[in-house]
Amino acid sequence: MNIYDRTLQWKIALIAAALIIVAISLFYSQSLANQLADEERKKIELYGKAVNEIKNIFAFMNEREKLSPEAQTILSEYESKILTFLQEITTSNTTIPVIQTNGKGEVTGTRNLDPDDNERNFDMKNLEDAATVTEKLEAMKESYKPIEITANFQERDEEGNETGRMLERKSFIYYNESSILSQLRTYPLFQLFIISIFLLVAYVAFDAARRAEQNKVWLGMAKETAHQLGTPLFSMVGWVEMLKISEDPSGEAQMVGEELEKDVGRLQLIADRFSKIGAQPKLTPTNIVESVAETTKYMERRASGKVKVNFEAKQPEILCNVNSVLFDWVIENLIRNGLDAMGAEGKMDVVVWEEAGNAIIEVSDTGKGIPKSKFKTVFKPGYSTKKRGWGLGLSLSKRIVQLYHKGKIFVDRSVLEKGTTFRVEVPLVD
């Protein structure tokens, strides 16, 4: 298993761990919110009972005339204490919105409907207040089941005398979540959003720093390679010249010198390519068709005889600002990868055309193909499916196309065991 497979597994593991943490956090927060909701309902039930008892006390005050003066005095003291206690219960609710209705559904009291003034009383005769209370009442009916308060009292006749018959009076208390409970439900989501943003920014920054460090390593390696090639190449040029001018009646030395000169030229081109990787290259208007055609012919001569290489240009001339040394290297890398993927037999198509302000180059092979999950991975430094190689070809090609030529390079399509098509897009000359 290579480093890229392990990286993917680590990412999946970290994402799974993050999701578990989020789930636990949300579950715990929701559990706390449910507990607080239960406490609020108990508080509202107590509030309703207190309101009902206050009404009963005021109703009972009308009956005190039947008691002796001494009993009335004692009862008044107890009533005052109980009434004070009950009023403290009702006024202690400063956060939970409450609407009380009678058995007919008529609003008989409100509390905490105005977030800015919890003591405000809404007048149901006022059209604006009535509309506000009605809207909030409908919302409360959809949120929580109302608390029913039942009270029994003596029926009286027209003259005010008790008839001996007990009547039942019902009222309903509707309520909604307090602002504290609402914040408790939403705060974890807000907190997780902030944490997610922070982690995303941190990951992007870390990834950018890692990529920058990788680029420095590869660029340093490229420049050092060019430097190391320079010294022996300089000596080889001298030896080639000596072979060419040496006295040899058979002409073999001169022939060897000419062939060596070609190889030395190729090595000089490679050194030149590596040296240009670390600096901003000079771009000149170039006919992409000719450039790609020459590179294709060069690589065709080095392919197996059973590999058929086709080149097609839909326009005779397509001008782009490129650095020929580096851009030819990109096309060479793509063709070489295709040849390696096919082995000793297959077909390769190189097509060039103009489209939407860009020069398009497609390099297709009939090789092993690339899994869709690896379409982006193949451009990472060090990734290679070959036993030999550093895995730098496509990585450097991507840098050359995107950074230096402001273009695009990507795997356009691929089918396992059928082949792959790489696509390069470079802006045309303005």
pLDDT tens-digit readout, 213-267:
766 766 676 666 666 666 676 667 777 777 767 766 666 777 777 777 777 776 7
Of 153-162, 280-289, 296-305, 343-352, minimum mean pLDDT range: 153-162
Q: pTM score, two decimals?
A: 0.51
pLDDT of 3 > 60? The answer is no
CB count, 10 Å around CB of 334? 28
> Cα dihedral angle (328, 334, 335, 339), rounded to 10 degrees?
150
Question: Tokens in use for 369?
Answer: 């193909």
- b/e string for 102-134 if b means 16 or more Cβ within 10 A? eeeeebeebbbbeeeeeeeebeeeeeebeeebe
pLDDT tens-digit series, residues 171-228 = 788 888 877 777 777 777 787 788 788 878 888 887 787 777 766 766 676 666 666 6
pLDDT band at 412 (very low <50, low <70, confident <90, very high): very high
Say which amino acid occupies 318.
Answer: I
pLDDT at 302: 78
Of 207-216, 228-237, 321-330, 397-406, minimum mean pLDDT range: 228-237
pLDDT at 240: 73
pLDDT of 333 > 80? The answer is yes
pLDDT at 76: 61
* Nearest residue to 276 via CA among 337, 329, 343: 329
* d(C-alpha 355, C-alpha 358), whole Å: 5
Are 313 and 361 within 8 A, CB to CB? no
What's the rounded mean pLDDT across residues 5-32?
77
- Mutual orientation of helices 252-277 and 179-245 as an angle, nearest 10°? 160
Question: Tokens in use for 173?
Answer: 């208390």
Of 65-74, 110-119, 392-401, minimum mean pLDDT range: 65-74
When comparing pLDDT for 75 and 426, which is higher?
A: 426
Q: What is the overall mean pLDDT for the chain?
A: 78
pLDDT at 311: 95
* 3-state SS, residue 130: helix
pLDDT at 331: 94
When comparing pLDDT for 333 and 21, which is higher?
A: 333
* d(C-alpha 64, C-alpha 177), whole Å: 40
* d(C-alpha 414, C-alpha 420), whole Å: 4
Say which amino acid occupies 153.
Answer: F
Question: Tokens in use for 260?
Answer: 């060596």
pLDDT at 1: 47
* d(C-alpha 382, C-alpha 399), whole Å: 14
Say which amino acid occupies 166.
Answer: M
Of 71-85, 240-254, 282-296, 386-400, minimum mean pLDDT range: 71-85
pLDDT at 415: 93
Pairing of strands 345-355, 306-313: parallel
pLDDT tens-digit series, residues 77-136 = 655 655 565 556 566 777 788 888 887 888 878 888 887 776 777 877 788 888 888 888
Are 426 and 322 within 8 A, CB to CB? yes
Question: Tokens in use for 416?
Answer: 């396992």
pLDDT of 73 > 50? The answer is yes
pLDDT at 347: 93
* CATH code of domain 282-427: 3.30.565.10
pLDDT band at 154 (very low <50, low <70, confident <90, very high): low
Q: What is the 3-state secondary structure (H, E, C) of 3-53?
A: HHHHHHHHHHHHHHHHHHHHHHHHHHHHHHHHHHHHHHHHHHHHHHHHHHH
When comparing pLDDT for 6 and 100, which is higher?
A: 100
- Distance separating the N- and C-terminal Cα atoms of the chain: 47
